[in-house]
Amino acid sequence: MTTPRGFGIAVTLDDTTITQAASRAETRGYSSFWTNNSPGSDGLHVLRVAGKATSSLNLGVGVIPVHRHPVDEIVQRSGKGTADELPMGRLLLGVGASGPGALALARESIERLRTELGCQVYLAALGPKMCRLAGEVADGVLFNWLTPEYAKQSADIVREGATSAGRPAPRLMTYVRVSLRDDGLERMKKEAARYESIPAYAAHFARMGVGGVDASIAAQDAAEVQERLKAWDGVLDEIVVRSITPNDTLEETLELVEAGAPVQ
């Protein structure tokens, strides 16, 4: 059985591209629409734009670091209680934490956000400790830069955490970065190198024994994308086709929406 798919874009794309990509993703049968929240950006703005263009897609941000953006700020940015409120019933609010006290901060933030916003809260998890915590407290877990084989190991740790807490396992998802042709591969290499320079991700890649490009799909055409995505079927509850395009244009983004679309 084909695993449900979401589609992900960079937070830096313009509103026209966001609108058309989200609308096309909904039409083509994706389950969710995601963006990141890099420093100086606003992933919730992207979801607000996407939400206005769609009616059924879940809307995910992966992820807002709570060690830089406290809960009160996130609640304010969500528009809770205002005319600009995000569609909470569709919101998959991804959060992450790093540094001293990260586990305790993540636990507290998830509980508060769930209570104050009433949305599903996902936790970004790389290492075993954060995977176990995701199982204990989160509604979902968002993995990143994984191979299907290593994803199974991470998923087992999440499930162990859920079992120890006496609760159902959270929904298991991952970004799968996808590019097309040689110019897309060059962008993918730059993206991978940037992450490989971050200590936490360097340790993550070392645990897996592969680099970022090897944990991604750099394909020549749509047929190859579909064939390689089959490796994820049955591994997790959903995968997010995270688009990596040479120039982040509307045409490139829509091409990847089509290339990675769930088989109807």
The percentage of residues in the chain with a pLDDT greater than 90, rounded to a whole number, is 97
The overall pTM is greater than 0.75: yes
pLDDT digits (tens, 9 = 90+) for 45-86: 999 999 999 999 999 999 999 999 999 999 999 999 999 999
Which of 1.20.1050.140, 3.40.640.10, 3.20.20.30, 3.30.1050.10 is the CATH number of 5-259?
Answer: 3.20.20.30
User: Would you state the structure tokens that stand for residue 216, as one six-digit string?
Assistant: 């991604």
Confidence category of residue 234, pLDDT binned at 50, 70, 90: very high
Question: Looking at residues 91-108, what average pLDDT do you find?
Answer: 97
User: Would you state the structure tokens that stand for residue 209, as one six-digit string?
Assistant: 């024994």
With 0-12 / 13-18 / 19 or more C-beta atoms within 10 angstroms meaning exposed / middle / buried, residue 231 is: middle
- The Cα 87–Cα 34 span in angstroms is 14
Neighbours of 112 (CB within 10 A): 17
pLDDT at 1: 74
263: pLDDT strictly greater than 90: no
Least confident window among 23-27, 36-40, 188-192: 36-40
pLDDT digits (tens, 9 = 90+) for 151-188: 999 999 999 999 999 999 999 999 999 999 999 999 99
For the chain, what are the domain ranges? 5-259
User: Would you state the structure tokens that stand for residue 148, as one six-digit string?
Assistant: 């299907």
